[in-house]
C-alpha cells in the first residue's frame, strides 16, 4: 500500500535566519549573508569568503553536558530536528516517536571538529585530544545523536553524497513513509565545514568565488559573471508524516512530497556532464514517480551553485527534462543568499520550496544581473514573484556526478 507523505514541520539554522519563519523572512529580504571569513585566517587562500551562522546557541537546545560532548555538526543536527518537531507541534505524547526515524545528509559530517583536534594533537599530544573525537567525525553521528535525544527507534541513516546529500536524505525518507515502514521521519541535511584545511581544499581546486572585494555579490547563481560558489554552513530538517496520521491530529501541512529521482553522470568527479542528460533524467524520474507531466510544473528551485560549468549544465538539464515548458516555468537559485552549505543545501532548498507553496511566493535569484546569452530558462530576478505554485521541482547536484530531484506539490 502506498501512503501519501506530507511535510508538517520545518527546522532551519542558516546564515539568513533560523526556524521556518526566520528562514522565510531571510528569503523575502533577499540580502546576501556572505562576508569575509571570521572563523579563521583565510588570507592565504585565493577565496576568502563564507556564509556563517552568527546566532546559533547550542545551549538553547541542549543540556550543558550534551553541548560539551557534541561537535557543531551534531549540535546543528539535534537543534534543527527539535525545531522541526516543535514546528509540527509534535511531542512524545502526540506522535509515535519510538517508531520514527531520522535520515541526514552531510558531505563532510564532523570533519571541521576533526581538523581542530588534529591541531591539538600536533601541538599538545594525544592526551589533550577530545575523547569524543572518535564518536563525532562520522556522518552517522548526526542522526544517531538525534535518535538519542528524541528516543526515535526507527530507521537511522546518514549519507555523504556530496552536495546532493540533503535532498537524497529527504527522498529516501519519503520512500520509507510512503512504503509504510514508518509513520514519521525526520529528514534533511546538515553541514558545518568552516575550518582552514577543509575550506582551503575547495579553494585549491578553484571551485570557489574569488570576488573577495565584494562579498555581498560574490555568490551569483546563473549570472554571466559568476566565478564559483561561496562555502556556507547550515542545517534544515523536515518532519515527513503519513498523511492520514497528520490529518487525524489536524496538523498544518506545508506541502506534499510526490516524487524523487536520482542518477549519476558517470563522467567526472568535479565537472558535471556538459549535456546535462543524467541530471535531466533525475528530474524526469522524479516527475514519473509523482505521476505529474512536465507541463504541470509551476516552479523549479535550481541547485545553481554559481559555478560557470555547473549552472550551464543545469540549465540544459532543465530544458531537456521539461521540453517546451522549460522556457515558461519560473526558475530561481537561492544560494546568493546563504552561499553553498554543501550537503545541507538540498534540504534548505526543500524547506524553501515547501514555504513557497505554503505562502504563495516564488523566491528570487539574489545577485542575478545578467544571465548567459544562451541560457534558455525563465529566470526569476532578485525581487521574486508573487505567485502560488502548485507543483515544484527541487534540484540538488554534487561532486562525483550525483544528481537528485524532488517533486513537491500543494497538499
Which residue in 116, 156, 303, 353 is the catalytic one? 303
Mean pLDDT across 157-174:
98
Please name each of the domains of the chain with its CATH number: 5-248 (3.40.47.10), 259-409 (3.40.47.10)
3-class state of residue 104 by DSSP: strand
Q: Average pLDDT, whole number, for the chain?
A: 97
What's the confidence (pLDDT) of residue 295?
97
Task: Report in angstroms the alpha-carbon separations of 375 from 312, 313, 332.
Answer: 7, 10, 13
Place of cell 552549505: 341
Place of cell 500500500: 1
pLDDT at 95 over 80: no
pLDDT at 400 over 90: yes
Rounded-to-integer distance, Cα 99 and Cα 263, Å: 30
Which residue in 163, 320, 353, 361 is the catalytic one? 163
Task: Report in angstroms the alpha-carbon separations of 22 from 11, 25, 34, 275, 385.
Answer: 10, 5, 17, 37, 19
Q: Is 163 a catalytic residue?
A: yes
Which residue in 116, 156, 320, 340 is the catalytic one? 340
What's the confidence (pLDDT) of residue 189?
98
Q: Phi/psi at 196 (nearest 5 deg)? A: -55, -50
pLDDT in tens, 48-69: 999 999 999 999 999 999 999 9
Amino acid at each position: 500500500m502506498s501512503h501519501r507523505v506530507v511535510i508538517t514541520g520545518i527546522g532551519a539554522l542558516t546564515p539568513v535566519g533560523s526556524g521556518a519563519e526566520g528562514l522565510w523572512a531571510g528569503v523575502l529580504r533577499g540580502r546576501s549573508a556572505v562576508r569575509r571569513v571570521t572563523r579563521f585566517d583565510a588570507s592565504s587562500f585565493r577565496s576568502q569568503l563564507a556564509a556563517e551562522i552568527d546566532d546559533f546557541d547550542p545551549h538553547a537546545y541542549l543540556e550543558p553536558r550534551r553541548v560539551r560532548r557534541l561537535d557543531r555538526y551534531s549540535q546543528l543536527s539535534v537543534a534543527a530536528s527539535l525545531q522541526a518537531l516543535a514546528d509540527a507541534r509534535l511531542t512524545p505524547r502526540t506522535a509515535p516517536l519510538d517508531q520514527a526515524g531520522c535520515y541526514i545528509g552531510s558531505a563532510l559530517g564532523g570533519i571541521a571538529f576533526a581538523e581542530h583536534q588534529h591541531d591539538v594533537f600536533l601541538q599538545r599530544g594525544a592526551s589533550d585530544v577530545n575523547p569524543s573525537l572518535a564518536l563525532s567525525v562520522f556522518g552517522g553521528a548526526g542522526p544517531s545523536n538525534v535518535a538519542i535525544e528524541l528516543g526515535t527507534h526507527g530507521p537511522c541513516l546518514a549519507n555523504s553524497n556530496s552536495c546532493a546529500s540533503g535532498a537524497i536524505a529527504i527522498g529516501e525518507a519519503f520512500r520509507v513513509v510512503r512504503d509504510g515502514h514508518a509513520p514519521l521521519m525526520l529528514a534533511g541535511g546538515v553541514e558545518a565545514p568552516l575550518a582552514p584545511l577543509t575550506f582551503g581544499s575547495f579553494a585549491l581546486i578553484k571551485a570557489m568565488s574569488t570576488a573577495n572585494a565584494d562579498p555581498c555579490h560574490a555568490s551569483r547563481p546563473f549570472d554571466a559573471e559568476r566565478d564559483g560558489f561561496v562555502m556556507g554552513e547550515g542545517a534544515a530538517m523536515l518532519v515527513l508524516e503519513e498523511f492520514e496520521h497528520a490529518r487525524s491530529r489536524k496538523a498544518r501541512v506545508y506541502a506534499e512530497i510526490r516524487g524523487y529521482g536520482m542518477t549519476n553522470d558517470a563522467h567526472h568527479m568535479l565537472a558535471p556532464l556538459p549535456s546535462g542528460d543524467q541530471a535531466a533524467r533525475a528530474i524526469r524520474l522524479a516527475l514519473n514517480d509523482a505521476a505529474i507531466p512536465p507541463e504541470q510544473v509551476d516552479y523549479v528551485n535550481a541547485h545553481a551553485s554559481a559555478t560557470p560549468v555547473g549552472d550551464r549544465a543545469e540549465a540544459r538539464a532543465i530544458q531537456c527534462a521539461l521540453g517546451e515548458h522549460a522556457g515558461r516555468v519560473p526558475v530561481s537559485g537561492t544560494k546568493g543568499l546563504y552561499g553553498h552549505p554543501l550537503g545541507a543545501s538540498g534540504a534548505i532548498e526543500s524547506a524553501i520550496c515547501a514555504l513557497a507553496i505554503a505562502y504563495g511566493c516564488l523566491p528570487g535569484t539574489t545577485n542575478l544581473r545578467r544571465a548567459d546569452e544562451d541560457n534558455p530558462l525563465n529566470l526569476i530576478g532578485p525581487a521574486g514573484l508573487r505567485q502560488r505554485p502548485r507543483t515544484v521541482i527541487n534540484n540538488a547536484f554534487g561532486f562525483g556526478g550525483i544528481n537528485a530531484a524532488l517533486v513537491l506539490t500543494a497538499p
